[in-house]
Structure 1
Amino acid sequence: MSALVNNGDTVGLASATGPSLGEAEFTFLREFVLQHCGISLGEHKRQLVQGRLLRRLRALGLSGFAGYCDLLRRDPASELGELASCISTNVTSFFREMHHYDMLVDELLPRWLEEKRGGGRLRIWSAGCSTGEEPYAIAMVLAEALERTGANVDAKILATDLSPQALEAARKGMYAIDRLGGVSDARRKRWFLRGEGAYDGYALVHPRLRELVSIQPLNLLHEWPMQGRFDAIFCRNVVIYFDKPTKQRLFSRYAGMLESRGYLFLGHSESMYGLSEDFDLIGRTVYRKRT
């Protein structure tokens, strides 16, 4: 759930912190980010983007934004993930928008596991997984449903994001205790290992959850290597920052990746209204593929 940097962020004046982001460089960056990430950067984001990218310039040993733009022109693929990390803020938590998980527990997982009992295939995609809280929360309710029903089902969760830093954190699966606020006491005991010594104050996700979750880099605007279809896709708090054509293309592609009458979960402030004829709204930001 990598989200575009919010309007409340502030940065210091360029003269006090480093080189200035000129008009030509900002125009290029706006066009580059729109093309490769589907995100429209307004003029009011200029100073904010400047402040975020100054850290990247220092890491690369570049003296100015012109050199950074040249790097993107020469080898866009190598730097795209880092750029996305710089201009985005990963806002996420365990069991955020709990009504989605309630639907999984009460309705969808019992039905799917019954239908697929005896060796069927169940696939869920967390698209824009950020630092991993969402796919691991899905894994908790999935693992509990598998234990409860004893169903013999090939169940996996694909978790993807563009940000290298977010993916690294997701792969580690280690979270400060105060990040577990959305997790019940019972689930904390069942699905987390408490850190000791140097890791005091942290919790590590249980190996069983790691077995269920595959974490991979993916740009939603580029080619998708996945072959099979998904029973559900979670893409929450991601598309709100895309322009309308990008949203329309993405929803169409999601429809093509879902099983017949599969489910798409969006964020609390996102909607498909006027953007797709492939889905019906059936709950709070829950959509079902029509065929």
Structure 2
Amino acid sequence: MTRNKGADSVQSEASAVNAPRMTDKDFERFSEFIKREFGIKMPPSKKTMLEARLQKRLRALCMNNHAEYCKFLFSPKGLESEITHLIDVVTTNTTDFFREPKHFEMLLSSVLPDLHKRTNRPIKVWSAGCSSGEEPYTLAMVLSEFADKNSAFDFSILATDISREILQRAVNAIYSEDKVEIVPMALKKKYLLKSKDRKKRLVRIAPELRKRVDFRQLNFMEPFPFRDKKDVIFCRNVVIYFDRPTQNRLFNEFCLRLVPGGFLFIGHSESVSGMNLPLRQVAPTVYQRI
């Protein structure tokens, strides 16, 4: 049966009107928990956003209101089963291939030549807060292109995110054709595989790139489970969601995991100004470990 847009709009508006509202008390409990467990700031201005995003969980669990969900979440059984869903509710997974392209231009033109000249081992790269995989696969393309032109160059990429669901999408490495439109044609032909069903308009990252990326789950509020040092760390538009003390701690953690002379790339909305870090700025939002 076909329904007109007017009917859909009326139903949508009715659903919004009838949706349960979150009390200030419940929001305070949620925000304190989210800050403690994930380090993510949840000021009062985020109440409407959180209220709306939790509607799907209320429906999935057949719950009538946020107080009921709150009671379930803070029970031992509820916390164990619901924590991964709550992570997906409060995190923002906005990313694109070749996002902030000047970073990748600098990586290819100066950072990789410098690292290749100074070391004879494989280069280690970390994409921290990798979301659905666009950033680490972009890195894999750029590093593979450099490897094709420079003998004896090898690399590995670690990609981490707090959300297991989004990591699974990254591992699957399937994207819409619209999503990869920004990828240069030469790289599309080389590293993207089109779906056999052309009606689906999907592509998948080629196996030789997928095997270059090791995806792991990581909550920045917990101890980092790896100790090996990296040559390049991309952590862009991630720490902006944390308070300043947490940002300071995280940037210090990144510095500890950078080799001397290694490079840290951050987002253009982020800053290390005022922090006592062993870094020198080499370009806007690009720093080198000293």
Q: Is the 8 A contact 1:264 1:286 kept in 2?
A: yes
Change in 2 beyond 3 A, CA 1:156/1:93: same
| CA distance in structure 1 between the partners assigned to 2:68 and 2:282 by the alignment | 49
Equivalent residue number for residue 32 of structure 2: 31
User: Is the 8 Å Cα contact of residues 122 and 153 (structure 2) preserved in structure 1?
Assistant: no
| Partners of 1:188 and 1:32 in 2: CA distance | 43
- Residue number in structure 1 paired with 2:230: 230
1:212-233 alpha-carbon deviations (Å, 9 max, x no partner): 1011111111121112111111
Change (3 A) 1:12 1:160: farther
Q: TM-score, normalised by structure 2?
A: 0.89
* Partner residue, 1:276: 276
Counterpart in the other structure of 1:181: 181
Equivalent runs, 1:35-46 vs 2, <5 Å: 35-46=36-47
Distance in 2 of aligned mates of 1:88 and 1:12: 26
Percent of aligned pairs sharing the same letter? 36
Measure, in 2, the Cα distance between the counterparts of 1:266 and 1:83: 26
3-state SS of 1:143 partner: helix
What is the CA distance between 1:18 and its match in structure 2?
3.0
2:100 to 97, 100, 104: 97
CA distance in 2, matches of 1:162, 1:62: 26
Q: 2:54 is paired with a residue of what secondary structure?
A: helix
Between the aligned partners of 1:159 and 1:250, the Cα distance in structure 2 is 16
Give the match's secondary structure for 2:178.
Answer: helix
Measured after TM superposition, the shift of residue 165 of structure 1 is: 2.8
**Per-residue deviation, residues 193-219 of structure 1 (Å, max 9, x unmatched):** 011217631111011111110111111
2:240 paired residue number = 240
Q: Aligned-pair RMSD on alpha carbons? A: 2.1
Note the residue ranges of structure 2 that are not aligned, 5 or more in a row.
Answer: 1-11
Q: Distance in 1 between matches of 2:87 and 2:285?
A: 26
Contact between 2:127 and 2:157, CA under 8 Å: does it hold in 1?
Answer: yes
Change in CA separation of 1:278 and 1:67 when aligned onto 2, cut-off 3 Å = farther
Work out the CA distance in 1 between the residues paired with 2:33 and 2:60. Answer: 21
Partner of 1:8: none
Equivalent position of 2:128 in the other structure: 127
1:252 and 2:252 correspond: yes
Structure 1 CA distance, aligned partners of 2:219 and 2:199?
32
- CA gap 1:140/1:272 in 2 versus in 1, 3 angstroms: same
Tell me by how many angstroms 1:276 deviates.
3.4
Superposition deviation, residue 260 in structure 1: 1.1
Alpha-carbon offset, residue 62 of structure 1: 3.0
**2:117 is the counterpart of 1:106:** no
Matched, 1:88 2:91: yes
Which residue identity is paired with 2:242? F
Provide the C-alpha distance between the structure 2 equivalents of 1:84 and 1:150, rounded to a whole number of angstroms: 42
For the pair 1:219 / 2:219, whether they are aligned, the reply is yes
Give per-residue Cα distances to partners, 1:61-106, cap 9 Å, x unaligned: 3333223323433344653332121123311111111111111111
1:266–1:285 CA contact under 8 A, matched in 2: yes
Q: Work out the number of aligned pairs and report it.
A: 277
SS in 2 for 1:261: strand
Q: Superposed, which structure 2 residues align to 1:129-208 within 5 Å?
A: 129-151=130-152, 153=154, 155-197=155-197, 200-208=200-208
**Separation in 1, partners of 2:33, 2:94:** 23
Superposed displacement of residue 185, structure 1: 0.5
Structure 1 gaps, min length 5: 1-10
Q: Distance in 2 between matches of 1:137 and 1:258?
A: 21
SS at match of 1:90: coil
**1:287 corresponding residue in structure 2:** 287
Structure 2 residue aligned with 1:19 = 20
Kept in 1: contact 2:40–2:242 (CA 8 A)? yes
Larger RCO (alpha carbons 8 Å, 6+ apart): 1
Letter matched to residue 107 of structure 1:
S
1: CA distance, partners of 2:81 / 2:268: 33
